[in-house]
Structure formats: C-alpha cells, structure tokens
C-alpha cells in the first residue's frame, strides 16, 4: 500500500500552490481551488515521518459527507470530489481564526485544566472537573491560524479588540459554529459516537461568510464511543475514542511534544498500520458505510487523471 506524502501536480489553469501540513491547495485561474488530501499526518504542529495509507481518502470523504449534510446551515466552498482524495471548490479569502468548540474537557483543554488554568480563551471553567467530563454547555475557544509554527489560543474579546475580525462577521462565525456542532453531535449520536470537540474554518466570498476546509474529520475532531462512556468516566478510565489523540499520546510516551530540542521518534510500520486502521474504522463508524479502498499503485497518476477530466468539462 502506497501513501501520498508529496506531490507537484500541474492542473489546467493552475496559478499557485500552497503546501499545508496535510493538504496541498492548488489555485486555478477560474476562481476555484483543488484541495488534495495527502496521507501525511501531523501532531503538535509537526509532520510525522511516515504517511498513513488511505488517510487522505478518509479525510476527504468524511469532510464531503458533513459538508453536504450541513449546507442548509451555512454555505460552504465545496463543488465536487472528482477523486477519493481530492475536493474542488470556490476560492475564498480565509479568516485567520480557527473556531474551536468543545463539549467535553479533553485534549488540549484537559492539559490546560490539569496545569491549573480555569479560564480558557476568556471562558471560565468550573472547579472539580475530571478529564473527559462533559462541560455544562459547549464552549468556543478560538485559536489564531498561524502561517507557520503553533496556533495560539485567543479570546473573543481579544479578537475584537485587535480588529482581527469585524464584530458582525465574528458573531456569524460563532452562531454557525454552535449550529454546526449541534448537527455534528446529532449525526455522531445516531452512529453511537460522541462528538467531543472540533474546529471550523471560515472564509469570505463576495462578502458572505463561507465554511471552508474540512469538518468533523478525525484530524479536526475528537470522538468518543457513547457505549460505556459513563462507566469509564465513573471509574476514572481512559475513554475509547476515535481521533488523532492516540497518536499524540504515543508521541508523548516517546518523549515528543514538539518542544525545542525534542527529537521526533521513529514510527514502526505496525503503528502506521494501526493508525490507518483507526482512520478507516472512524469512516465506517461515522458513515455507516463500508470503506472502499482506492487504487494506490500510482496515486499521483490517478489524481491527475481524475482532476483534469473534471476540469476539462468546465
């Protein structure tokens, strides 16, 4: 099984390319973007040394499902998915704020709480919480979207005080974030999952707020299994989850959190296989469909053929 870790496509009308941690975004001269979901995996803002087979396909297809299922809430950028690992849609002016929303005390929020913090991004947290407890109500904890390096927590008040986003735009982003999280929570519950936390990114197109990038994928979201959640919580046990958190935990156990002077550990092939299986498991669990593995003998040629065939029809 091959993994797509790097590429240099040349699509019809291409004017620019941006290589992100996971996605490569190609700008076309007709106002469209071609977003290729690679099989790279990142954690602590670092790209891990090996690609994960089928990860990009899982991300792209899960994101497509949820974008289609939420377009009645907020308009989004997506037009088509001509290849299992590729999405094509409208280019938007990105708003450099990630809208993170949390329904449970997990991951980064739990680490901050354990360190003694009781205010996260300007939001007060009650005393007496245990890791993975459900919060009294979902909280929005935004982060600045860094071009390079670490994203940083920021409060609503600071965003507005610094003029990073116009007040009326930010209010729309908040309202959309809460509505999207509610829909995602309902869809996850129908499949026996808990949507723990997630992030949304927005852009502007013709002055309108548009949902961009991926949503509700294992890279952008954390899921717990609903069955047994209460029992595990009562016993203080770790929750069974479908997310990238287990990759972060593996890195922490192997002495890496992205801090200066730390060396990225080598990833054994069996761990790479485990990650791939976890991503496929989430796809099948959240969609209720069997995962159909795309051909990987020549991923680059497959993508070029499928994308160019779509662009020729425009």
119-158 pLDDT tens trace: 999 999 999 999 999 999 999 999 997 665 567 899 999 9
Write down the domain spans for the chain.
14-92+270-312, 93-246
Residue numbers of the chain with a pLDDT score lower than 50: none
Both structure tokens of 235:
């016993």
Q: Please check whether the domain covering 93-246 is classified as CATH 3.30.365.10.
A: no
User: Please, what CATH class does the domain formed by 14-92+270-312 belong to?
Assistant: alpha beta
Q: What is the pLDDT of residue 244?
A: 81
Q: What is the pLDDT of residue 37?
A: 96
Q: What is the pLDDT of residue 147?
A: 60
pTM: 0.90
Q: What is the pLDDT of residue 293?
A: 97
CB 165 within 8 A of CB 159: yes
CB atoms within 10 A of CB 124: 8
Distance CA 105, CA 112 (A): 10
CB 71 within 8 A of CB 79: no
């Amino acid at each position: 099984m091959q993994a797509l870790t790097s590429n240099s496509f040349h699509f019809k009308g291409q004017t620019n390319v941006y290589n992100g941690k996971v996605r490569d975004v190609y700008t076309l001269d007709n106002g469209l973007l071609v977003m290729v979901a690679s099989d790279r995996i990142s954690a602590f803002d670092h790209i891990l040394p090996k690609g994960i087979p089928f990860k990009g396909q899982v991300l792209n297809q899960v994101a497509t499902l949820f974008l289609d299922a939420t377009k009645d809430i907020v308009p989004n950028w997506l037009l088509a998915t001509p290849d299992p690992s590729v999405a094509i849609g409208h280019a938007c002016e990105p708003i450099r704020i990630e809208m993170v929303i949390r329904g449970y005390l997990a991951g980064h929020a739990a680490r901050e709480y354990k360190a003694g913090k009781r205010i996260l991004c300007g939001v007060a947290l009650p005393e007496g919480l245990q890791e993975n407890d459900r919060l009294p109500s979902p909280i929005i904890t935004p982060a600045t979207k860094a071009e390079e390096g670490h994203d940083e927590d920021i409060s609503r008040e600071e965003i507005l005080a610094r003029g990073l986003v116009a007040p009326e735009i930010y209010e729309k982003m908040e309202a959309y974030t809460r509505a999207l999280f509610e829909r995602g929570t309902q869809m996850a519950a129908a499949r026996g999952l808990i949507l723990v936390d997630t992030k949304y990114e927005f852009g502007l197109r013709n002055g309108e707020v548009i949902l961009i990038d991926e949503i509700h994928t294992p890279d952008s979201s954390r899921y717990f299994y609903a069955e047994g959640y209460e029992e595990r919580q009562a016993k203080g046990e770790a929750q069974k989850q479908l997310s990238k958190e287990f990759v972060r935990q593996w890195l922490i156990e192997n002495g890496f959190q992205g801090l200066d002077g730390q060396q990225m550990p080598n990833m054994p092939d069996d761990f790479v296989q485990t990650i791939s299986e976890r991503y496929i498991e989430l796809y099948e669990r959240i969609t209720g469909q069997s995962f159909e593995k795309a051909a990987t003998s020549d991923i680059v040629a497959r993508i070029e053929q499928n994308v160019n065939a779509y662009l020729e029809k425009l």
